[in-house]
Structure 1
Amino acid sequence: MNYKSVIGLVCFIMLSGCVNPTNTIHAKTSQPAAIQPQSTGIKMYFGLSIPTGGVVTPQQWQQFESNQVANTFTGFSVADSVGYYKGKKEHAKVITIYNASAADIKAANKLGKQYAQLFNQDSVLVVLIDVAQIQFVTKD
């Protein structure tokens, strides 16, 4: 094999690894309306410890969830979490949203900023997640 053939083969092998098999599979098969391949999810981590002392109370969180979060997103889930921030154990709320649009991502960042200002937080962690497939299982 000559030099150009080796380079061509290496490029072919490298580029073939860039193909997303999930997209290829979905492009060849028909999907029921309830299955949506390749979407974006959002996870938001809201710390409940206030750096200057104290905590966000369950009542304060519930008010924030009901007034700001529920009025911002069509659907979401909330889970209790325990993590560490700056070496200290901290309780948190994790909000998860799937099928997130560009508007949802923008709203998540705005909501994180509101929470940080309201409860004197250093930050709110907003994570974008690549979701391979979303499927809504119905009663039918």
Structure 2
Amino acid sequence: MNHTNPMHRHAVLALLLLGLAGCASSSSPIHPSGWACEAGDQSMVRDTLYFGHNRPNGGRVREAEWRQFLNEVITPRFPDGLTVMKATGQWRNANGHIEQEVSQVVTVLHAGDPTTRGKISEVMAAYRQRFDQEAVLRERTATCARF
């Protein structure tokens, strides 16, 4: 057998890679970025949503209004769990002004299926409509998780 033949080397490399991929997928899930999660981890999607409390008319979303939105809109769509943190952020609005505002940051881990992605979009649209917001920031990343 001639191991210096480029076609042979490519074929051997392809077989090795396929074999390694098979090993990785049988012992741990493959993360969408291509690297393997640790054994026992699940490949998941993490959506982080940033809900600013400043209103365009100068008012603010009150704490009671936020809690009501969380209880009525977000929690029913994600009853298995989520994380909520208070934050202070800043951003440039449509008029070019820098705004600083109190915000709520909601993190949801999920499988990334179309139904769940749709629920994320529904939450964002509901907040923009209810509180007359220009935007809700969504940050989506692939991650590995263990519960």
Partner of 1:83: 89
* C-alpha RMSD over aligned residues: 2.8
Structure 1 residue aligned with 2:103, among 92, 112, 136?
92
**Residue 36 and residue 102 in structure 1: after superposition, are their counterparts in 2 closer, same or farther (change >3 A)?**
farther
Q: TM-score, normalised by structure 1?
A: 0.72
**Residue 42 and residue 135 in structure 1: after superposition, are their counterparts in 2 closer, same or farther (change >3 A)?**
same
Number of corresponding residues: 118
Partners in 1 of 2:102 and 2:24 — Cα distance? 40
Q: CA deviation at 1:37?
A: 3.2
- Where 2:72 maps in the other structure, the secondary structure is helix
Matches within 5 A, 1:1-140: 26-29=24-27, 35-74=40-79, 75-86=81-92, 87-100=98-111, 101-131=113-143, 133-136=144-147
Q: CA deviation at 1:56?
A: 0.2
Partners in 2 of 1:113 and 1:119 — Cα distance? 10
- Where 2:110 maps in the other structure, the secondary structure is coil
For the 8 Å contact 1:78–1:93, the answer to whether it is kept is yes
Q: TM-score, normalised by structure 2?
A: 0.69
- Listed as ranges, the gaps of 5+ residues in structure 2 are 1-5, 30-38, 93-97
Partners in 1 of 2:23 and 2:90 — Cα distance? 40
For the 8 Å contact 1:80–1:91, the answer to whether it is kept is yes
For the 8 Å contact 2:110–2:116, the answer to whether it is kept is no
Q: CA deviation at 1:25?
A: 6.5
Question: What fraction of aligned residue pairs are identical, expressed as a percent?
Answer: 23
Higher relative contact order (CA 8 A, sep 6+): 1
For the 8 Å contact 2:56–2:132, the answer to whether it is kept is yes
For the 8 Å contact 1:26–1:37, the answer to whether it is kept is no
- Listed as ranges, the gaps of 5+ residues in structure 1 are none
